[in-house]
Amino acid sequence: MSDPNSPEIQRFEPVPGRRPYWTAAFSGGAPIGPDPATPERWFEPSPAPAAGSGGVTPESGRGNGRGLVAILLATSLIAAVVGAGGTYLALRASGALDQTTATPGTGTGTRVAIESDASTIIAAANRVGPAVVQISTDDGAGDTSVGSGIVYDSRGWILTNKHVVAGAKTISVRLADDRQLAGTTYGVDTLTDLAIVKIDAVANLAVAPIGDSAPLQVGQLAIAIGSPLGLQYPNSVTSGIVSALGRDISVPADNASSTASTSLHGLIQTDAAINPGNSGGPLVDGSGRVVGVTTAEAQTAQGIGFAIPIDIAKPIMQEALAGEPLSRPFIGVTYDLIDKGLEEQHSLPLDQGAWVHKEDVNGNSIAAVVPGSPGDKAGIETGDIITSVEGQTVDASHPLEDLLVQYAPGRTVSVEIYRGGKYLTLMVTLGTRPATTS
């Protein structure tokens, strides 16, 4: 519980703000242009009167005509200036003159205001950059490394990658204003490549706004901030787009002497340049909120990097703030997420869900439920299809693992399964995920 006499503590769950990407400025109607052309006859001299008619002479007629023309031209000019000025003021007030574009190929298409990528990136970098730190580690044997981290609470809590601090004997945290502080590893995640580092609270410690990764869409702006070239290049900013969602990759194990690899699931793929020193830094959206934690780059390709969705990180961020050990829920089943190809290949009865299934190296089906695990105790069997957790559908956008991480170990959740043509609801009391579970 916070001290009521202490300054207000900044939390990491900000209220999502509105995000005005494209705003219609005004609808095109009749084109705005000059007044209708003056009839040509107004510029012709008056016809000469018949002799003895007592009418005006040709000379006087031309004089009157010229005066009339001058008056008409002056009136038209004044009207045009006043009208144009009024139109300009109205358009300026509406914001329609701010970086607008017309529908391609037309002169009267609907005009929309376009958010400048450059100004958006600058604003996002200025908002998050002060809360991005550089993390230097030493394993005590002379091996050092540099990564990045995100300050998410003003009491000195930092989110980073597990591989950034794995094996570290000493940790040095360099703030954006160049202050140097000693850090300690509070805990590491047993599910993903995440860790929490703690430093002493200091004055004016900037905190990054934390967003939500669930609403992310392929194609939207993505900004990475970190130290891609080590100690001399902190807070470097790169930008791109969200290239894909729900990616699964394998990365080398933390122990360099191990040949094993770690599987990471449900990642954000981006073409914003990500290099080793970016690890643990933020992936930021166009509103200047952290939506992911950069974690890996593709070694065999260019322009492909990955970030852990921030929604997956939030449970351990909350556990750290509460002073609890970092833990993840465990159900104890191996599964394949059903898609159209898997459905057709194995003649599955459903086109979505988590198929409880496992194969040996020869492709033979084997037991997919860990004996004595929470899933086993609840009655889940190999071959079942898990269709929902607490009423939330399991599908390509909501894998079983992503749904489970929302709940703390020890929580009992309802799990719907499909077996033998029937839907069954089982109650599963989640266990604690072992550190060695992949």
Which residues participate in catalysis according to the annotation? 163, 193, 279
Tokens of 103: 């529908």
φ, ψ (nearest 5 deg) of residue 51: -60, 135
φ, ψ (nearest 5 deg) of residue 332: 85, 35
∠5-7-12 over CA atoms, to 5°?
130
The distance of Cα 38 from the centroid of its chain, to the nearest Å, equals: 57
> CB–CB of 148/158 below 8 Å?
no
Q: How far apart are the first and last CA of the chain?
A: 35
> CB–CB of 225/284 below 8 Å?
yes
Q: Which residue bears the tokens 């009391």? A: 429
* Cα 254 to Cα 143: distance, rounded to the nearest angstrom: 14
* Cα 97 to Cα 94: distance, rounded to the nearest angstrom: 8
